Amino acid sequence: MPSPEFELIQRYFSRHDAAPEIVLGIGDDCALARVPAGMELAMTVDTMVEGVHFPRHTAPFDIGYKALAVNLSDLASMGARPAWFTLALTLPRNDPDWLAGFSEGLHALAGEHRIALVGGDTTRGPLSITIQAHGLVPAGEALLRRGARAGDLVAVSGTPGDAGLGLQLALGQRTTAVNADYLRARLDRPSPRVALGQRLRGIASACIDVSDGIAADLGHLLEASGVGADIELARLPLSEAFRQTFAGSPDWNLALTAGDDFELLFTVPPAREADLAALADVTVIGRIGADQGARFHLPQGGLMQLEQAGYDHFRSAP
Ligand code: ADP
Ligand code: MG
């Protein structure tokens, strides 16, 4: 008789939609994959812990969806094409309803991006989900954090700040917002910018995905590149929901420091500026300069003072 653990894996996680590079998927001690000639393997792993990365009682579909989305976002930021992933799942109990919802969310996003689940590990304990995703990128063409140069444009995809507003709603820190359902969806089911990342190869000089807020992630890119940036807040592409919720006076601090948007933040050399026009849903927000650090210019003039730059698990309480 198959063990309950084996049955669980069979029922919820075994699919036969392996990537062309997969020689052997779920079922043996390891999966086997072939890296095509001329390609490099992009590797990333992220853990989501209940109560830390998502509020208790988040819908299982959304947990499965987001656990993969955050990894796909890392692949996107490097310009890689998603290829396959593994899943390490720690569960308090064998709950068929939870598992059905979780695996549905996971497979929904996996199917959309045609990334194959090729293995994993299943254990009992406090709810925690770890996904390792691998992507493929033409050798030497990956987008790195360190390529920004003075004079490059700074651009961002989507409308940053929405997930942060969604989190305030989810945590009950805010009771109303314009288009609250949309804002919650931005938090719970982010859209990793996989197609954009691949299009940015040969265009962007540096790229990072915005998981911890624009201020913090721009800071990482600037530090890696050894440059600074001037950002015009008037150019920040805020959503209608975000603007209307703040009725004319946007919460800049929230827009810059809230995480979870999973948009791409990237730089483009002036010679490549024309290529930007062909990219949908991308906005230039500033320019790279030689002076270190990020300066956020307020629409009414003057510089913005940030309250807190992004989330850090190991920062001690103030
Ligand atoms: P082992 O003890 O050799 O590590 P397991 O019994 O943990 O193997 O897993 C059996 C097979 O099922 C392996 O191929 C493993 O990759 C796969 N697997 C286990 N858990 C998961 C999961 N949550 N999702 C996908 N595949 C899984
Ligand atoms: Mg084994």
Measured distance CA(149)–CA(166) in Å, rounded: 34
30 DSSP assignment: S
| Residue 16 confidence (pLDDT) | 65
Region 278-293: what's the mean pLDDT?
A: 96
| Residue 309 confidence (pLDDT) | 55
3-state secondary structure of 67: helix
Tens of pLDDT, residue by residue over 188-242, are 999 999 999 999 999 999 999 999 999 999 999 999 999 999 999 999 999 999 9
Residue carrying structure tokens 């807040």 = 233
| Residue 21 confidence (pLDDT) | 94
Region 266-272: what's the mean pLDDT?
A: 97
**Using 50, 70 and 90 to split pLDDT, how confident is the model at 310?**
low
**Kind and range of the H or E element at 157?**
strand 153-157
Residue carrying structure tokens 């920040």 = 236
C-alpha 89 – ligand 1 centre gap (Å): 10
**Kind and range of the H or E element at 185?**
helix 180-188
Q: In this model, does residue 81 exceed pLDDT 70?
A: yes
Which ligand 1 atom sits nearest the alpha carbon of residue 12?
Answer: 24
Region 235-254: what's the mean pLDDT?
A: 94
**Using 50, 70 and 90 to split pLDDT, how confident is the model at 55?**
confident
Question: Mean pLDDT in the chain?
Answer: 94
| Residue 318 confidence (pLDDT) | 44
Which residue has a Cα nearest atom 24 of ligand 1? 120
Q: In this model, does residue 32 exceed pLDDT 60?
A: yes
Better-scored residue on pLDDT, 56 or 90? 90
The proportion of the chain whose per-residue pLDDT surpasses 70, expressed as a percent, equals 95
Which ligand 1 atom sits nearest the alpha carbon of residue 117?
Answer: 25
Nearest ligand to the CA of 84 is 1
Region 135-140: what's the mean pLDDT?
A: 98
234 DSSP assignment: G
If one counts every other C-beta atom within 10 angstroms of the C-beta of residue 68, the result is 27
Ligand 1 cavity residues, CB under 6 Å: 9, 13, 26-29, 87, 89, 117, 119-122
Residue carrying structure tokens 């009771």 = 175
Tens of pLDDT, residue by residue over 183-198, are 999 999 999 999 999 9
